[in-house]
Amino acid sequence: MKEISTKELESLLTGSIDLLDVRDPEDFQAGHIAQAINLPPMQVQSAEFAKDKTYYIICYSGNRSRMMGEYLESQGINTVSVKGGMHAYKGAVVR
């Protein structure tokens, strides 16, 4: 599975990407990237994903996003995990 830095993610946010925030809803509401869709782990496992897209995954520190990315990759879904997660992200957030 591919990983990118939060800096690399920031440069991608000027375009259209599918960004999944896999933190709990409370953490998501406390501050998230505007383009992100909140999809906690229990929902990731039951959601449907397009196999011709790439999904960028972020969490708080990067551990959960890596685990969810590995799970989705095992299902044939293209993913990219954001190293350092929201803890390392310095860009604008929505509260």
The one catalytic residue in 20, 59, 77, 80 is 59
List pLDDT tens digits, range 62-89.
Answer: 999 999 999 999 999 999 999 999 999 9
What is residue 14's three-state secondary structure?
Answer: coil
List pLDDT tens digits, range 4-49.
Answer: 999 999 999 999 999 999 999 999 999 999 999 999 999 998 999 9
Q: Identify the DSSP state of 94.
A: B
Class of domain 2-88: alpha beta
Measured in residues, the chain has a length of 95
- pTM as predicted: 0.96
Phi-psi region of 62 (alpha: psi -120 to 50; beta: other; left: phi over 0): left
Would residue 59 show up in a list of annotated catalytic residues for this protein? yes
